[in-house]
């Protein structure tokens, strides 16, 4: 899960490009193609975050493996979808555990011990059948 600091845009394009080891124009191209989405200041300057840096590293890994930019875009969208589904699944599992635990708590509260009542009932039925 990403922290607020991780998503806080702090890097200007020149610093970000230097950190990533790419040309600023490459970053602009990635932004145009929808791979990166830096935030903008009121004046329109790009600001990149640590999350953007992680995304750029993933882009670099995939392109180094020979994936074209459209493929990178699709892969990253699928990875984001998988992450989202994993979070949904974890939330559903927590809810299910909570419901099961609550159900068990209700069982414990609603159960009344009967001890030998069933045996006494069966014995009474036997006596009735025999006519005792």
User: Which residues of the chain, if any, have pLDDT below 70?
Assistant: 1-6, 108-120, 132
User: DSSP alpha helices (H): ranges in 1-132?
Assistant: 4-7, 13-20, 24-32, 50-64, 69-110, 117-130
Domain ranges for the chain: 1-66, 76-132
Which pTM was predicted? 0.66
Domain 1-66 has CATH 1.10.1660.10: yes
pLDDT of residue 120: 66
Rounded CA-CA distance 90/25 in Å is 40
pLDDT of residue 113: 65
Give, to the nearest 10 degrees, the angle between helix 50-64 and helix 13-20: 40
pLDDT of residue 122: 75
- CA triple 25-26-29, angle to 5 deg: 85
Contact, 14 vs 24, CB < 8 A? yes
Rounded CA-CA distance 97/107 in Å is 15
């Amino acid at each position: 899960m990403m922290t607020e600091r991780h998503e806080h845009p702090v890097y200007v394009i020149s610093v970000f490009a230097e950190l990533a080891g790419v040309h600023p124009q490459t970053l602009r191209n990635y932004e145009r193609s929808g791979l990166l989405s830096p935030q903008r200041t009121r004046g329109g300057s790009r600001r990149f975050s640590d999350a953007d840096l992680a995304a750029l590293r993933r882009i670099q890994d995939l392109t180094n493996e020979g994936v074209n930019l459209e493929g990178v875009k699709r892969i990253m969208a699928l990875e984001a979808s998988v992450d989202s589904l994993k979070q949904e699944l974890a939330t559903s599992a927590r809810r299910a555990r909570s419901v099961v635990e609550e159900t068990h708590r209700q069982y414990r509260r609603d159960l009344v011990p009967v001890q030998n009542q069933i045996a006494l009932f069966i014995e009474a039925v036997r006596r009735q059948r025999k006519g005792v």
